[in-house]
Structure 1
Amino acid sequence: MSDTPFGFGLPPEEPENGDEGKKEDQQSGGGQGPFGFGLPGFGGPGGDNPLAAMFGSMNPNDLGAAFQQLGQMLSYEGGPVNWDMAKQIARQTVAQGTSDGIKDSSIGPAERTAVEEAVRLADLWLDDATSLPSGAGSAVAWSRAEWVEATLPAWKELVDPVAERVGAAMGDVLPEEMQAMAGPLIGMMRSMGGAMFGTQIGQAVGVLAGEVVGSTDIGLPLGPTGRAALLPANIEAFGKDLGVPQEEVRLYLALREAAHQRLFAHVPWLRSHLFGAVDGYARGIKVDTAKLEDVVGQFDPQNPEQLQDALQQGMFQPEDTPEQKVALARLETALALVEGWVDAVVHAAAKPRLTSADALRETLRRRRATGGPAEQTFATLIGLELRPRRLRDASRLWASLTDARGVDGRDGLWAHPDMLPTASDLDDPDGFVHREQLDFSELDKMLGEAAGGSAEKPNLKKDDDSE
């Protein structure tokens, strides 16, 4: 991963071992990440970037296809990311298969039934572990290609604000009186930027589709509301070497998916809170316009590789700002609380029923701690690093709250964002749990105010208890 959130840093050094090193880099997906225009895969195998792939070492027979691809790049007039291109490349990446050797395929009736039964049983078990009722109106089994299709709208919502702010710098570097004259050039650069963004994001989403096991792996609801989703092929790959029966692996992952669905379904402010933090981060982005002015002044439309070279040499270097740091801290804490709550609730539901509960819990924790694929992609897209220590601290805090105040008292804190623990509370979970000013009487008072105000109170009653 690059040194900057978007990977707009210097390109990786050429490996000393020649073609073998290049091959390894291609297999690993490159070293710069979704916004670090350094991944292969656009314009044919073996290219280090979209334009180099089209114009470097080209077979004359491929010239027509190369100009067609360039035409697509230059004719794009949509938003900051060419999502049509992103979708196409993600689907191509999925079709090529992943390092686990498992090819994507259509979901059969037996797999659909297994997923539906697992989610149904998981919801029954969770009834004893949380006061939030079921949030999954349906359960579906997805292929990797179906995951790509279903999650692209959420990726668009997450990535567009960041890409738009960076892309807007292309039109801000010239004096106002010169922008009209340079309009075609700026439009060309934006079109190419949208295509390059689409290329890298498409590859990232395609690779991620080969790793995720559901729709909530990164702690955000990427799929449609109220639909619990699992990927049978990836669940098989995940449990392959664990020594745990496949049915238990599927059920444990169904518990996690169903727990996320409950939280996002019955805490109505949570999704906008998380996505809003991403937007707040994007608004704080500042771009090194001096370098951009240099490139715009010298750009030769007959030499499009010049723009690609400038991008790789760090034309865009987002600078950390106080606003960004605040937004990222807010997002990091909220995601840790979400993941910690799910971890604690799922453990409470699984521990008495699954002999492998402890082992599966630790495996998933380590997956996050070692920078699992979902976390790495998210970190590269928006610059977020979710520290594993925060996840464990948050899980311990929610477990302590359960012991001290019961399930209702714990889940009641989700009624309003101001009631949640802060980053400093994660440093001292026991202090938060036993703080005198947050006793039951004050909690009841805050719950009443939240229910009567603009924030909607979570439904803390089971469906069969409601009047």
Structure 2
Amino acid sequence: MIDWDLAVNVGAKMAGDGPSVSWEEAADVVGELRGGAERSSPLVREYTGLVAQERTAPVLVVDRRGWLQANVDGFGQVISPLIDKLQEKKGPPSAMAQAVGSRVTGAELGFMLGFLSSKVLGQFDPFYDADGATGRLLLVAPNIVQVERELDVDAHDFRLWVCLHEETHRVQFTAVPWMRDHLWSQMRLIVGEIESDPAKVLGDALKKVGDVLSGRAEGSLIEVFSSPAQREVIDRITGVMSLLEGHADVVMDGVGPEVIPSVERIRARFNDRRKGAGALDRLVRRLLGLEQKMAQYRDGAVFVREVVDKVGMSGFNAVWQGPENLPSKTEIHEPAAWLARVHG
């Protein structure tokens, strides 16, 4: 139903190769990012108190096409139940319908991922489990080089700063092993609730899209096409992702002053970058939900800092004891409510 190879090719063509670098510089960047990820492990462990096994998740320094391929693979894994559901209900499509439809959906997915592949600096994929791995850490070298040049910051400091953020995500999932299964179950709930009748899905979709584009409604395309039951799950996932992203931001800035002399300059300039460059960029970010993603970093970091200020890092770490201790989307904005519920 989806031409995955076409999705990768369309995305790669849209994204381009990134900044021009020599072979020597490319090799230096790859080596420094690998070293930065390894150097970050004990720093994150000491700051957070979370103990994760080392070298259980491979570190891959990739280009934009490599990031695309990794995410296409993951996307196929997540939506496989939906494809099975559609085929069970409607039967296998004709050869012509499959050939045309798969290329259309492949191109659409490629355009979306192509935009993202030029923005993402790093990503921890918790669902990768080949060869006994517990996830994998992806660092997108051309994007890191491009951003450090745009921000005009110290390249070595910036690379370690990015590694600290992404290594924190690795620690979160490997030190808290139930987190992977919890997120996976929530994602499967969303896929399982997807309506397979096109007429019902598209009933008032055009109006909703128009509301999002005009700013009359909050949310992204994902929320536009979701049911009330799915939006409840999305709210739960939003709470978790705000926690994870905010925690990583707090760690990278907390550890930063000890090992990254220019961390304040990097943070100030990077925050400006998160606002988006132009009108078109902001529109695409809004449709893809990236504006909400930026809010997750901000709101999650505020939650973590307020909780740590009240009960210390050890008290905050109660959040990792089980799914029942995770903050809801509402509690992310009301840390006192989470503290009252978990700490009494």
Considering the TM-score relative to the shorter chain, is it more than 0.5? yes
The TM-score, its normalising length taken from structure 1, stands at 0.57
User: Is 1:208 aligned to 2:122, yes or no?
Assistant: no
Equivalent in the alignment of 1:81:
2
Give ranges in structure 2 of 5+ residues lacking alignment.
203-222
User: Is 1:289 aligned to 2:213, yes or no?
Assistant: no
Q: Secondary structure at the match of 2:292?
A: coil
Equivalent in the alignment of 1:59:
none
CA change 1:375–1:407 in 2 (3 A) is: farther
Q: Secondary structure at the match of 1:211?
A: coil
CA change 1:200–1:143 in 2 (3 A) is: same
Equivalent in the alignment of 1:116:
34
Q: Distance in 1 between matches of 2:63 and 2:293?
A: 30
CA change 1:336–1:140 in 2 (3 A) is: same
Match of 1:429 among 335, 339, 342: 335
Equivalent in the alignment of 2:317:
411
Equivalent in the alignment of 1:332:
238
Q: Distance in 2 between matches of 1:152 and 1:402?
A: 37
Equivalent in the alignment of 1:149:
69
Q: Following superposition of structure 1 onto structure 2, how do residues 308-387 of structure 1 map, counting pairs within 5 Å?
A: 319-368=225-274, 370=276, 386=292
Q: Following superposition of structure 1 onto structure 2, how do residues 222-261 of structure 1 map, counting pairs within 5 Å?
A: 225-261=134-170
CA change 1:281–1:105 in 2 (3 A) is: farther
Q: Secondary structure at the match of 2:317?
A: helix
Q: Secondary structure at the match of 1:230?
A: strand
Equivalent in the alignment of 2:107:
199
Alpha-carbon displacement from aligned partner over 1:369-420 (angstroms, at most 9, x marks no partner): 5499999989867x78636444323212212222333323322321211111
Q: Distance in 1 between matches of 2:337 and 2:118?
A: 41
The percentage of aligned residue pairs carrying the same residue is 22
Q: Is the Cα contact below 8 Å between 2:4 and 2:106 reproduced in 1?
A: yes
Q: Distance in 1 between matches of 2:23 and 2:82?
A: 33
User: Is 1:130 aligned to 2:39, yes or no?
Assistant: no
Q: Is the Cα contact below 8 Å between 1:122 and 1:254 reproduced in 2?
A: yes
Alpha-carbon displacement from aligned partner over 1:441-464 (angstroms, at most 9, x marks no partner): x7xxxxxxxxxxxxxxxxxxxxxx
CA change 1:103–1:116 in 2 (3 A) is: closer
Q: Distance in 1 between matches of 2:35 and 2:22?
A: 22
Q: Distance in 2 between matches of 1:209 and 1:429?
A: 33
Q: How far apart are residue 259 of structure 1 and its match?
A: 0.6
Q: Distance in 2 between matches of 1:429 and 1:395?
A: 11
Letter of the aligned partner of 1:111 in structure 2? Answer: V
Equivalent in the alignment of 2:206:
none
Q: Distance in 2 between matches of 1:378 and 1:327?
A: 22
CA change 1:146–1:250 in 2 (3 A) is: same
Q: Is the Cα contact below 8 Å between 2:242 and 2:332 reproduced in 1?
A: no
Q: Is the Cα contact below 8 Å between 1:284 and 1:324 reproduced in 2?
A: yes
Q: Secondary structure at the match of 1:81?
A: coil
Q: Comparing both structures, which one devotes a greater share of its residues to helix?
A: 2
CA change 1:363–1:193 in 2 (3 A) is: farther
Q: How far apart are residue 191 of structure 1 and its match?
A: 3.7
Q: Is the Cα contact below 8 Å between 1:81 and 1:193 reproduced in 2?
A: yes
**Pair member with larger Rg:** 1
Q: Is the Cα contact below 8 Å between 1:281 and 1:324 reproduced in 2?
A: yes
Q: Is the Cα contact below 8 Å between 1:215 and 1:222 reproduced in 2?
A: no
Q: Following superposition of structure 1 onto structure 2, how do residues 97-108 of structure 1 map, counting pairs within 5 Å?
A: 97-98=17-18, 101-102=19-20, 108=26
Q: Is the Cα contact below 8 Å between 1:158 and 1:278 reproduced in 2?
A: yes
Q: Secondary structure at the match of 2:138?
A: strand
CA RMSD between the two structures: 3.9
Q: How far apart are residue 154 of structure 1 and its match?
A: 1.4
Letter of the aligned partner of 1:204 in structure 2? Answer: M
The TM-score, its normalising length taken from structure 2, stands at 0.75
Q: Distance in 2 between matches of 1:104 and 1:199?
A: 31
Q: Is the Cα contact below 8 Å between 1:115 and 1:141 reproduced in 2?
A: yes
User: Is 1:399 aligned to 2:301, yes or no?
Assistant: no
Give ranges in structure 1 of 5+ residues lacking alignment.
1-79, 173-178, 293-316, 443-467
Q: How far apart are residue 348 of structure 1 and its match?
A: 1.3
CA change 1:193–1:362 in 2 (3 A) is: farther
Query: Alignment length, in residue pairs?
Result: 316
User: Is 1:438 aligned to 2:342, yes or no?
Assistant: yes
Q: Distance in 2 between matches of 1:377 and 1:161?
A: 28
Q: Is the Cα contact below 8 Å between 2:45 and 2:51 reproduced in 1?
A: yes
Q: Distance in 2 between matches of 1:161 and 1:384?
A: 26
Q: Is the Cα contact below 8 Å between 2:2 and 2:101 reproduced in 1?
A: yes
